[in-house]
Structures are given as structure tokens and as C-alpha cells.
Amino acid sequence: MQFGWTDEQTRLHQRMRALGSDVAAVKPPERMRALAAAGALALPLPARHGGAEHDLVTTAYAFEGLGETLDDAGLLLAAGAHLFGVALVLARVGTEAQCARWLPELASGERLASVAVTEHRSGSNVAAVAGVVEPDPAGLRATGEKCYVTNAERAGLFLFVGRTAEQARGLTAVLVPRETPGVVVGKPLELAGLRTAGVAPVSFQGCPVSAGAVLGKRGAGMAVFHLAMGFERALLLAFRLGAMRRQLDEALTFAARRTLGESSILEHDAVAHRLARMKRRLETSRLLVYRAAWELDTGERAAGSAALAKWHVAESAAESALDAFALRGAAGCLEESGLPGAIDDALAATIHSGTADVLATVVARSLAPHRQSG
Ligand SMILES: Cc1cc2nc3c(=O)[nH]c(=O)nc-3n(C[C@H](O)[C@H](O)[C@H](O)COP(=O)(O)OP(=O)(O)OC[C@H]3O[C@@H](n4cnc5c(N)ncnc54)[C@H](O)[C@@H]3O)c2cc1C
């Protein structure tokens, strides 16, 4: 087992750190374009379709670099949903024709993508979606009301999952371009955290799609969804590792400089231990993310490891954001500290790609596959 990085990985990480600083200086609406122009959306995609073909451990390390210098969790979530929730899934299970049609545009960021699965009445229980993918004289038709779709505001391609009419229990995943008649993107939601993720409802009103738009096989939509969740849970919060490191560095600097009377607050064990706990959460989060990415690189499904990584990183980031806030006293309450927003961002991240409760069930199932409940 090795814990070091190769020179190539280190160079890429440093390039992404520098890119994060550059993107931070760009106006928010232009940021996704800047990330894409520098190749951040192509990192793990196949070279023959415009990607850089990095493995997933290296890709995660690149996103850690971005998170260190780019304090825009909503944007990085949206970039990850595009790349890990759709593009990577397409690269793994798409036909050659689907990959050739969509991957070059997804890799360059010319077209952005969204996962459109959640519905108000199904929520965590994806098997209960009411949306359908049903036969139509011209091919297939997708109908359904999806909510909380990350990136919807910017997306040009949706990975829609709906019930397959002739198979009561089966789901089918289809790729629906935004320009398809019947696609209606709603008003972006005013989230408390992750505001720049472009989350909105999307209505699919009898959208005609060809049989060639089915990802995987008809009736295999749940497997496609699980693949997307494996990638998202392992990799979507890799940028958070960088953000947690930045927050720890800033908290340490603040604590060292903040003197009350003659002594620094760092002299109090209670303060130093908050920093120690932030360090523990950062390092354990890193181990779990890279472990899950490594398993995926070896071709494993990694459902348990990916769920463990997402569960732990999301909760760790939320707890560390609260510690960073508490450590600053009233100064943490000021908007300019960035901490109220960081707490909101971190809390929102405990919900997407599976709530903590759902992820605990996935981990439990990986320990005891024959358990009946959950
Ligand atoms: C910022 C953000 C971005 C998102 N992006 C997307 C996206 O791009 N695409 C998309 O399709 N969806 C997206 N979602 C939706 C997200 O996947 C769902 O919100 C999530 O799956 C939970 O569904 P729900 O909100 O309906 O909560 P519910 O499922 O109603 O859950 C309510 C509570 O019940 C608990 N619960 C529910 N079922 C179980 C269970 N089986 N076991 C234990 N506890 C359970 C939950 O843990 C939670 O505490 C996003 C959400 C957020 C907040």
C-alpha cells in the first residue's frame, strides 16, 4: 500500500489548485465555462471521446485541488453531477454510438448534463418513481415530474429514469436532450446552501425519445441508477476534502492570531481539540474517498465503500463547519466570514446522492447482504 502521489498526479493536483484560484476570480455565471475550458469536466473520460482518461483516484485528487482554492460548493457539486452522475455512466454503459454522440460535448462542457430521478412522492425510494418510459409509435416517450435536479438550469442533457410500462417493477434510463419537445425546466429553487448548483424542477411532458436513447437496457434503469450513485457517492464530494483543508488552515490561523488579554485562544485545550477533530475528519474522509475511488478503478461496484465515503465526508464537513464557526465567536456570525454559508452548503450535502439514513442502510447491506429490511 502506498500513500504517495506520482509526479504526474501532483502536477495535475497543482494545476487544478491554480485553476480553482483562477475560476474564483471569474463572475459566477461564467465559472462552469472556465472549469470546462481548462479540461476539468473531461478528466476521467475516454481519450477517444475528448477525455483525459485519468483514473478515478487521480480524478478525485484533482477535485480535491479545485476545492482547496475554489470556495463555490454549488458549482463543484454541479460539475460533479455532470461528470460523475452522467458522463462517466455514459462512458461505462453507453453504446459506441451514444458515446460518440454525447461524450465529446460533455467532455468539453459544450453541453452539461443532469441526473433527473427524484420525484416528490418517491424521494429516497427510487423504485417508487411514477415517471414512465413507455412505447410510442415513433419509439419511446418519457413522462414525469422530477424535482431537485442539480445543474438543471444549465443542462443540455438529462438522464431520466422512469417506470417501464410493460414491466411493473422495472425502470428504464433514457438520455433526453433539453431541446426535446415537452422538456420544461422550472424556476431554480432558492436553496439555503449550494445556491450555485442550479437546482430546479424539470417536467418531462411526453417527450419523444428514440430507442437509441436508452442507457443500458430497457428495464435496467435501476442498475444504471446504482452505477451513477456509486460514482457520485465516491467522487462528488472529493472537492470537499480540499474545502475542509482550507477551512482547517483558516481556523488554525484565526486561533493562533486571536489573543484575549495576554494569551492566544489556541492555549485552550477546548479550542485546540476542535482543530484536532477537524484534522481527524479531514484525514479519515480522504482515506474513505480514495479507497472508494480505488475500488471503482479496479472494476468493483464499490457500493458499500462509496456509501461509506459519502456518508462520512458529508457529516464530517458539516461537523467541521460548525467547529470552524464556533471557534470564531461572534466573528463567525458575520457573512464575510463565509461560515454561515459554509454550514448551509455542508448541511445540504448530507441530503443529495442519498441521505445519511439511506447510506447507512447501503453500508449495512454490504456487511449483511441477506438482511431482509431496508
Ligand atoms: C442540493 C441537492 C441536490 C440534489 N440533486 C439531485 C439531482 O441532481 N437529481 C435528482 O434526481 N435528485 C437530486 N436531489 C434529490 C435528493 O436525491 C433527494 O432529496 C434525496 O434522495 C432524499 O429524498 P427526499 O428529499 O424526498 O427525502 P425523503 O426520501 O422523503 O426522506 C425524508 C427522511 O426520511 C428518511 N428516509 C427515507 N427513506 C428512508 C429509508 N429507506 N431508510 C431510512 N430512512 C429513510 C430520510 O433519510 C430523511 O431523513 C438533490 C437534493 C439536494 C438537497
pLDDT digits 0-9 by tens, 182-210: 999 999 999 999 999 999 999 999 999 99
Which protein residue has the closest C-alpha to ligand 1 atom 44? Answer: 357
| Of residues 297, 299, 350, 295, the one with CA closest to residue 322 | 350
Q: Interhelix angle for 56-69 vs 269-297, to 10°?
A: 150
The predicted pLDDT at position 169 comes to 66
171, β-bridge pairs: 163, 220
The predicted pLDDT at position 138 comes to 83
What is the average per-residue pLDDT within 46-67? 98
User: What does the alpha-carbon distance between residue 192 and residue 313 come to, in Å, rounded to a whole number?
Assistant: 20
What is the average per-residue pLDDT within 113-125? 97
Among the residue ranges 44-48, 135-139, 276-280, the one predicted with the least confidence is: 135-139
Domain with CATH 2.40.110.10 in the chain: 114-219
What is the average per-residue pLDDT within 70-86? 98
316-327 burial, b at 16+ Cβ within 10 Å, e below that, comes to bbbebbbbbbeb
Is residue 233's pLDDT more than 70? yes
Report yes or no: 145 and 121 within 8 Å, Cβ to Cβ.
no
The pLDDT-based confidence of 2 (bands split at 50, 70, 90) is confident
184-206 burial, b at 16+ Cβ within 10 Å, e below that, comes to ebeebbeeebbbbbbbbbbbbee
Pocket test for ligand 1, best of 115, 160, 352 (most atoms within 8 A of CB): 352
Domain with CATH 1.20.140.10 in the chain: 226-367
Output the CA torsion 163→169→172→173 (10° steps).
90
Average pLDDT over the chain, rounded to an integer: 96
Q: How many CB atoms lie within 10 A of CB 328?
A: 18
Is residue 68's pLDDT more than 80? yes
Look at the block and give the residue holding cell 430546479: 200
The pLDDT-based confidence of 165 (bands split at 50, 70, 90) is low
User: What does the alpha-carbon distance between residue 191 and residue 352 come to, in Å, rounded to a whole number?
Assistant: 13
Pocket test for ligand 1, best of 231, 351, 363, 373 (most atoms within 8 A of CB): 351
Is residue 373's pLDDT more than 70? no
7-111: which CATH number, 3.40.50.2000, 3.40.50.970, 1.10.3720.10, 1.10.540.10? 1.10.540.10
Pocket test for ligand 1, best of 112, 148, 229 (most atoms within 8 A of CB): 148
249-258 burial, b at 16+ Cβ within 10 Å, e below that, comes to ebbbebbeeb
Question: What is the tens place of the pLDDT at every residue in 265-295?
Answer: 999 999 999 999 999 999 999 999 999 999 9
Q: Ligand 1: residues whose CB is within 6 Å?
A: 81, 114-118, 123-124, 148-150, 194, 197, 199, 348, 351-352, 355, 357-358, 361
User: What does the alpha-carbon distance between residue 270 and residue 301 come to, in Å, rounded to a whole number?
Assistant: 41
The predicted pLDDT at position 261 comes to 94
Q: 118: helix, coil or strand?
A: coil
Instruction: Check residue 346 and report its DSSP letter.
Output: H
Superfamily of domain 114-219: Butyryl-CoA Dehydrogenase, subunit A, domain 2 (2.40.110.10)
123 C-alpha to ligand 1 centroid (Å): 5
Phi, psi of 162 (to 5 degrees): -140, 165
Instruction: Check residue 138 and report its DSSP letter.
Output: T
Question: What is the tens place of the pLDDT at every residue in 313-368?
Answer: 999 999 999 999 999 999 999 999 999 999 999 999 999 999 999 999 999 999 98
Give 346's contacts (C-beta < 8 A, 6+ positions apart): 73, 193, 314, 317, 318, 320, 321
The predicted pLDDT at position 167 comes to 57
Whole-number percent of the chain with pLDDT over 90 = 94
Query: According to DSSP H, which parts of 199-302 are helical?
Result: 221-235, 238-257, 269-297
Is residue 175's pLDDT more than 60? yes
Higher pLDDT residue, 371 or 219? 219
Is residue 374's pLDDT more than 90? no
CATH placement of domain 226-367:
1.20.140.10
The predicted pLDDT at position 166 comes to 60
Is residue 133's pLDDT more than 60? yes
Give 279's contacts (C-beta < 8 A, 6+ positions apart): 248
User: What does the alpha-carbon distance between residue 24 and residue 338 come to, in Å, rounded to a whole number?
Assistant: 14
User: What does the alpha-carbon distance between residue 329 and residue 311 come to, in Å, rounded to a whole number?
Assistant: 28
Among the residue ranges 110-119, 163-172, 222-231, 335-344, the one predicted with the least confidence is: 163-172
pTM of the full structure: 0.96
Domain with CATH 1.10.540.10 in the chain: 7-111
